Amino acid sequence: MGDLAARIVEQAIKLGCQDAISDVVTNRSYQIRFARNEPVISNRWRERAAWLFMVHNKRVLLSDIKDLSKAEEAVERLVKIVQTSKENPEYAGIAHGPFRYARTRPDPKILALDDGSDHVDAAIHGALEEGAKECAGSFWRYEEAHDLVTSNGVEAQDHRANLYLSIRALVSLESSGHGIACATKLSQFDPDKAGHKAGRIAALAKNPKSGKPGRFTVVLDPLIFGSVTDQVAGRLSAWAVLAGLSPFGKKIGKRVASEALTLYEDGSADSIGRKRFDAEGVPTRKNLLVQKGILKTYLHNTSSAKRFKTKTTGNAGLVFPDPHAIFCKPGDWSRDELFSEVKDGLWLTNTWYTRYQSYVTGDLSTIPRDGIFRIRKGEVVEAWKDIRVTDNLLHLLKNIVALGNRTEQMMWWGEVSVPNFVPYALVKDVGVTKSAE
Amino acid sequence: MPDPDLVDYAVDYARQKRVAYAEARYEHQTQEQFILKNGVLDAVFVGEDQGVGVRVLVKGSLGFAATNTLTKPEVRATVDDAVKVAKASARKTPITFAQEDAVETEWSVPERKRLADVPLDEKIREIGEMDKAVMALRYKVPARYFQMSNNRIQKYFANSEGSKIHSYSPRLRLFYFLTVARDGDIEQTYRNYGWSGGWDGVRTLDWKEKVLEEARSMQRSLVEGKKSPEGKMDLVVGPQVSGIASHESCGHPTEADRVLGREASQAGKSFLTPEAIGTRVGSGLVNVVDDPTVEHAIAYYETDDEGVRARRRYLYKDGIVHEFLHNRETAAVLGTRSNGAARAVNYNVEAIVRMANTFVEPKDHTVEELLEGVKLGVYMKSFMEWNIDDKRYNAKYAGREAYLVEDGEVKHPVRNTIIELTTPAFWSAVDAVGKDLEFEAGFCGKSDPGQALDASLGGPSMRLRNVSLR
């Protein structure tokens, strides 16, 4: 399909465009969704499309051509359309290749995996063994191939495949836990462990009491701490900063978190978000985002980098720069040490629905779900329900006291949008509110 | 449209494979999207998306497969895929579908001014003028983001029971996000408007004036806004707040697939159980309906994505849980009929239980009459931050445009009023309902892979007595 991408780019340039990118994407993913301990549907995709970016006299157009048999007519039509659009004076071009890319190839055993039922069964079995009554979730075998060609000398291919499983285990409506399994190699995929974790939390969360408002020292499980770091990474997109959707504006070089927090973005490292290149064909790399609490960079494509007088970080997004995968530098606390530090506080295992009253100040709330536990003298003394974390993103980051010494790869529906490698985190002075009856 | 034979072929071929049920859904979506940030047109997206999704029921298991290569061999392979994955997903409790009549029909939403006939530069001018009008107010507006889109959706649905349905649905949407600043203080807002129909919707909805009204109220909040009063008092909410409550605190908990646990791992479950029909959740004045047939509402449709005819559904009636939203699968489990709530965001995903246009049914009070009865309280016209737990019981709405009310009179703006109430506490406090029904659009998120789907959220102003505010 590399020929097709090249033909599309060549045609766009011949018709008068100055810049063009085509990414021909083949999707052969497969999924099993399950609920109430059984599969509810299995899905399989056979899709191929050409993503197209073209620029004519600083007029920028994006498209996806789904009918590849008519790609030539589509390009001709799209070039006519882009000419009638409006100039983007901030457009600053696309990266100049060619580039050298890391050699990566998907695990052949993942490519050969034709049925994920055993993995679903393993996860459900693990949760039920811990005492769960009802399990729901998804198993994915993602497979995508990219052939990317740009008018600035890039010709690149990337074949990505990985496994993912998300399981929620319930003892009852208000007693639940969540587990995640991610792997780029079949041999590393451990759905049984994810099921056990979900089931264990669900069983521990039995008979929850209504929580109380206040300010608490909190242990964040990796899944919910991944929601926090995912928020950070998303808000560090230069586009979000310019659109007023970030509390990190004008904070490069300033303290945004406690010394305990060092965060990297790295699309080149082994993760289920690994990519050889970004949407401009720039090789992905390790970007230091936050070093010991000091903000180091936003995420950029070529245009946003020029606006901020810096270089692309390899995070295009042709309009919106975005993160590929986030890595939190682990601390040196064991899980037990983190818990024993909590004299009177909470352990939160998951959250959802993070929303802002002000993106610029970072004022937000988010709703813990699954196990919520009261901790006294380092021990779980009871399960809670029906609370909300009402706080501020920068306040949360600055109040990180300590991090666990082991990271886990987290990604989850809605809240953790890209893989986040995160440890347990201990955060002080976290605001908790609850509903009036 | 491709040859409808391809869809019929998929169904016929699936029948030959002795499946219990088969359906094929072709969709062709033509979309334009304009992204304007701080007065600069970042990019225009012009997409033409098409493909066929096939769903089969085999020995009580569901399989779904999709392709965008529209040839007979590829569609045949897609049917084979759907059957294969269904067979690999054996269940102890077989899935069945509620009985429905076969439907043969063709429907379309009329466009007075066809979206396809409006030149690109006119659409770009429209979004640009909104931005210019905001800047002409001469407030400090450091961040503005407008996203306007139009989408023309053609579908052909056929199933093994004889349904054959052609449809055409043109849609318009405006989303904007504004930041207004003054003396180091800021107000932020976003709003979302939608329309089923032609370009004439832009004038009917008068987007530009709505944006300007919002910007003026933000400036006023910054200049005159004071701390919101705290404690138990009366609250009058505007249509935007009624709309979000109808969607989050009624529509979602009455989705039967949530009630039955199919969404447990993603969008969650519901505080309502299958036995909850007939239980009280609000005052006798509360009627919340979901109605796909509201003309020009963005989620308008006449038949759902399982080929079932759409109708108005009373979710809460007189404050009592009246009906769940169903597709054919959930209806069969609960021993009822589908009420036409199955929808998919595109050809390449299964249709699941979704809201369409969800709103509080209006009654007869004017806003002035609602306010007259308030000795001390807050009039919250709109919200910014909101969220709700995954069983849809604990909701929070934080005020964007809100005012102090004393002795029935609207006084100065108040900032960041917080409503944090349980679902029954919210609906039980309603003691009067207005007649000023309005809709806004939303993207409703659910399922895996995620399906962010067009939805309308609406209602009139309502008065709530003696609720806790912060």
With an 8 Å Cβ cutoff, are A352 and B390 in contact? Answer: yes
CATH of the domain at B24: 3.30.2290.10
Percentage of the residues of chain B whose pLDDT score is greater than 70: 99
Q: Give the CA distances from residue A258 to residues A56, A195, A336, A339, A349, in Å, rounded to whole numbers and listed in that order.
A: 46, 33, 21, 19, 22
With an 8 Å Cβ cutoff, are B65 and A244 in contact? Answer: no
Contact A99/B at CB under 8 A: no
With an 8 Å Cβ cutoff, are A243 and B425 in contact? Answer: no
Distance in angstroms (rounded) separating the CA atoms of residues A58 and B220 = 38
Q: What letter would DSSP give residue A221? A: P
With an 8 Å Cβ cutoff, are B394 and A435 in contact? Answer: yes
What confidence score (pLDDT) does residue A318 get? 81
Query: What is Dmax (Cα atoms) for chain A?
Result: 71
Please check whether residues B158 and B67 belong to one and the same domain.
yes
Candidates B46, B78, B388; nearest CB to A61: B46
Please check whether residues B207 and B128 belong to one and the same domain.
yes
Domain termination residue (choose one: B196, B224, B252): B224
What confidence score (pLDDT) does residue B1 get? 55
Tens digit of pLDDT for each residue in A157-191? 999 999 999 999 999 999 999 999 999 999 999 99
The answer, yes or no, to whether residue B456 has pLDDT greater than 90, is yes
Question: What is the pTM for the complete model shown?
Answer: 0.97
Please check whether residues B322 and B407 belong to one and the same domain.
yes
The answer, yes or no, to whether residue B2 has pLDDT greater than 90, is no
Domain termination residue (choose one: B202, B224, B246): B224
Domain termination residue (choose one: B209, B224, B239): B224
With an 8 Å Cβ cutoff, are B43 and A359 in contact? Answer: no
With an 8 Å Cβ cutoff, are A243 and B177 in contact? Answer: yes
With an 8 Å Cβ cutoff, are A46 and B66 in contact? Answer: yes
Question: How far B365 CA sits from the closest chain A CA (Å)?
Answer: 27
What confidence score (pLDDT) does residue A2 get? 60
Question: How far A301 CA sits from the closest chain B CA (Å)?
Answer: 13
Distance in angstroms (rounded) separating the CA atoms of residues B441 and B383 = 14
Question: How far A363 CA sits from the closest chain B CA (Å)?
Answer: 9
pLDDT tier for residue B373 given thresholds of 50, 70 and 90: confident
Rg from Cα positions in chain A? 23
What confidence score (pLDDT) does residue B142 get? 96
Please check whether residues B39 and B161 belong to one and the same domain.
yes
A positions 165-194 inside 8 Å of B (CB): 166-168, 170, 173-174, 176, 178
Please check whether residues B384 and B280 belong to one and the same domain.
yes
Q: For B274-296, what is the mean pLDDT? A: 98
Candidates B45, B88, B93; nearest CB to A42: B88
Mutate to test the interface with B, among A34, A88, A357, A365 (most CBs of B within 10 A): A357
Please check whether residues B367 and B264 belong to one and the same domain.
yes
Distance in angstroms (rounded) separating the CA atoms of residues A59 and A78 = 12
| B80 → chain A, closest CA residue | A44
The interface pTM score, or ipTM, of the predicted complex is 0.96
Q: Spell out which residues of chain A touch residue B451, defining contact as CB-CB under 8 Å.
A: none
Could you list the beta-strand ranges (E) of A221-321. Answer: 263-266, 286-291, 294-295
Distance in angstroms (rounded) separating the CA atoms of residues B310 and B355 = 12
Rg from Cα positions in chain B? 23
Mutate to test the interface with A, among B46, B64, B258, B384 (most CBs of A within 10 A): B46
What confidence score (pLDDT) does residue B168 get? 98
Could you list the beta-strand ranges (E) of B122-184. Answer: 140-159, 164-182
Q: Spell out which residues of chain A touch residue B269, defining contact as CB-CB under 8 Å.
A: 170, 173
Distance in angstroms (rounded) separating the CA atoms of residues B8 and B158 = 6
Please check whether residues B212 and B234 belong to one and the same domain.
no
| B119 → chain A, closest CA residue | A84
Please check whether residues B212 and B263 belong to one and the same domain.
no
Mutate to test the interface with A, among B27, B42, B80, B91 (most CBs of A within 10 A): B42
The answer, yes or no, to whether residue B3 has pLDDT greater than 90, is no
With an 8 Å Cβ cutoff, are A88 and B40 in contact? Answer: yes
Q: Spell out which residues of chain A touch residue B89, defining contact as CB-CB under 8 Å.
A: 32, 39, 41-42, 117
Distance in angstroms (rounded) separating the CA atoms of residues B297 and B291 = 9
Q: For B77-95, what is the mean pLDDT? A: 95
Mutate to test the interface with A, among B31, B32, B50, B85 (most CBs of A within 10 A): B85
Going from the N-terminus, what domains does chain A have, and what CATH number goes with each?
Answer: 2-204 (3.30.2290.10), 209-433 (no CATH)
Angle at A89 (CA atoms; ends A84, A92), nearest 5 degrees: 110
Question: A239 and A304 in contact (C-beta within 8 Å)?
Answer: yes
Contact A359/B at CB under 8 A: yes
Q: Spell out which residues of chain B touch residue A355, defining contact as CB-CB under 8 Å.
A: 385-387
Domains: count for chain B: 2
Question: How far B329 CA sits from the closest chain A CA (Å)?
Answer: 10
The burial of B93, by beta-carbon neighbours within 10 Å (0-12 exposed, 13-18 middle, 19 or more buried), is given as: exposed
What confidence score (pLDDT) does residue A414 get? 82
With an 8 Å Cβ cutoff, are B265 and A65 in contact? Answer: no
Domain hosting residue B35, numbered range: 5-224
Q: Spell out which residues of chain A touch residue B391, defining contact as CB-CB under 8 Å.
A: 173-174
Question: How far A300 CA sits from the closest chain B CA (Å)?
Answer: 15
Helix, strand or coil for residue B274? helix
| A142 → chain B, closest CA residue | B449
Angle at A379 (CA atoms; ends A375, A383), nearest 5 degrees: 50
Please check whether residues B332 and B257 belong to one and the same domain.
yes
Distance in angstroms (rounded) separating the CA atoms of residues B332 and B95 = 8
Mutate to test the interface with B, among A40, A168, A212 (most CBs of B within 10 A): A40
Tens digit of pLDDT for each residue in B13-51? 999 999 999 999 999 999 999 999 999 999 999 999 999
Distance in angstroms (rounded) separating the CA atoms of residues B376 and A95 = 60
Q: Spell out which residues of chain A touch residue B228, defining contact as CB-CB under 8 Å.
A: none
The residues near A52 (Cβ < 8 Å, ≥ 6 apart) are A8, A12, A20, A21, A22, A61, A62, A63, A64, A65, A75, A78
Please check whether residues B73 and B170 belong to one and the same domain.
yes
With an 8 Å Cβ cutoff, are B48 and A74 in contact? Answer: yes
Which positions of chain A have pLDDT values less than 70? 1-2
Q: For B463-470, what is the mean pLDDT? A: 97
Please check whether residues B260 and B212 belong to one and the same domain.
no
Contact A43/B at CB under 8 A: yes
Please check whether residues B68 and B104 belong to one and the same domain.
yes
Tens digit of pLDDT for each residue in B108-131? 999 999 999 999 999 999 999 999
With an 8 Å Cβ cutoff, are B120 and A62 in contact? Answer: no
Contact A74/B at CB under 8 A: yes
| B231 → chain A, closest CA residue | A436
The burial of A374, by beta-carbon neighbours within 10 Å (0-12 exposed, 13-18 middle, 19 or more buried), is given as: buried
